[in-house]
A and B are shown apart, each in its own frame.
Chain A
Amino acid sequence: MNETSPPRRRRRAFDWSTAAIALCAVAAAATVYWRDGAEHFLAIFGSDLTLFGEMLPKVLAGCLIGAFVTLLLPRELVARWVGHESGFTGLAVAAFFGFLLPGGPITIYPVAGAFLAMGADAGAVVAFIVSWTLIGYTRALVWELPFFGADFVIWRIVEALPLPILAGVLARIAVRAGFAREPGDQ
């Protein structure tokens, strides 16, 4: 099943947006140190370090789950299911795969493009992308959890659950009303 393996992501340990945040963090830390003293500085540093340490096992688990799902789930099969289903089931299937498929934008958008090529309608593709963005577990586990903690993230995801289907329905209404066309139409 080599042909279904996802494209390699170009990953570096550092990038410009991280550098910008690092600069802000250093400036903020220096401000706290000069304004409030070393004791306050160390108290904040200690509590954030603890938070970071507690999150590491979850982030590692998220990375491993993402890696194994990528290897175990053939992408062509996913595309076929989403492409051939329509109606409400099609939206639900697309939203489910948005939740399930790991990876960043560089792996997700080509998959969405494959859905279109295999005959999925715009509603299903919209449901898939919104679902990956808002309730995809790798994003939540790897990125959101360290910053916000489990309670907040679970609570936010509960509120996001209806949104992918809703976005898919809205997209279908827009297409049907003539505000937008199906990607296949000329």
Chain B
Amino acid sequence: MTLAVNILLWLVVGALAFFAAIRGRVLLNNGARDGAVEFILLLPRIAIGVIGSGFVAEVLPKALIAPWLGPESGFTGVVIATLGGALTPGGPVVGFSIGAAALKSGAGAPQVIAYSTAWALYAIHRLLIWEVPMMPARVVWLRAAVSLPLPFIAAALAMLLAKP
């Protein structure tokens, strides 16, 4: 699985590099450089998040997570997870670290999906910091309002399509 994903990704990289090379050597060099710089800047955050979430999961009170967010928690668990997602501040490292740690400590997959979907769609700080300054406020609130049911729909689909 991991190998197949890797091969597919690097085929896409190869194809894009080929098209860039056709349009000129400068474009090829710029693309490779931009991608590499982005990667180097991301490394410390991802390292801290991934390595840290293993330890955080180990110290999380499993006795609390399982009943509130475990696979048996059902709809209540999805509601708690959605609220948690909406109130989680911070960048991608924070939301994904918490989600991964919860999953490792016994939270159910649909509940984790509700959490990360809610956090991605309407974490309050993100609406205020990013979206409101760059878009008409009317569109931002409309988008947030129609996004409200989406974590529940994602969790419901996750319960239907049982994890392979």
Contacts and interface: CB of A to CB of B under 8 A. Distances in A.
B111 interface: no
Contacts of B91: 15, 17-18
A106 to B, nearest CB: 7
Interface stretch (A48-56, A79-87, A91-99): A48-56
Contacts of A52: 46-47, 50-51
B82 interface: no
Contacts, number: 262
B83 interface: no
A11 B35 CA distance: 13
Nearest to A64: B35
Contacts of B1: 150-151
A174 B138 CA distance: 12
B121 A133 contact: yes
Interface in B116-160: 116-117, 120-121, 126, 130-131, 134-136, 138-139, 141-143, 145-147, 149-150, 153-154, 157-158
Interface residues of A, number: 86
A125 B142 CA distance: 10
A16 B91 CA distance: 9
Contacts of A144: 96, 116
B135 A113 contact: yes
B59 A147 contact: no
Report which residue of A12, A16, A31, A60 has the largest number of chain B beta carbons within 10 angstroms of its beta carbon: A60
B39 A60 contact: yes
A109 B164 CA distance: 35
The interface residues of chain A, by DSSP majority, are classed as helix
A89 B71 CA distance: 38
B77 interface: no
Contact of B34 (A20, A71, A126): A71
10 contacts: A25-B55, A58-B5, A67-B30, A72-B20, A72-B31, A112-B139, A133-B120, A147-B53, A155-B161, A171-B143
Contact of A12 (B41, B93, B96): B41
A12 B33 CA distance: 16
A25 B56 contact: yes
Interface of A: 11-18, 20-22, 24-26, 28-29, 31-32, 35-36, 44-45, 47-49, 51-52, 54-55, 57-72, 105-106, 109-110, 112-113, 116, 122, 125-126, 129-130, 133-134, 139, 141-144, 146-148, 150-152, 155-156, 158-160, 162-163, 166-167, 170-171, 174-175, 180-181, 183
B99 A159 contact: no
A44 B58 contact: yes
B31 A20 contact: no
A110 B134 contact: yes
B138 A28 contact: no
Contact of B13 (A36, A65, A160): A65
Contact of B55 (A28, A63, A113): A28
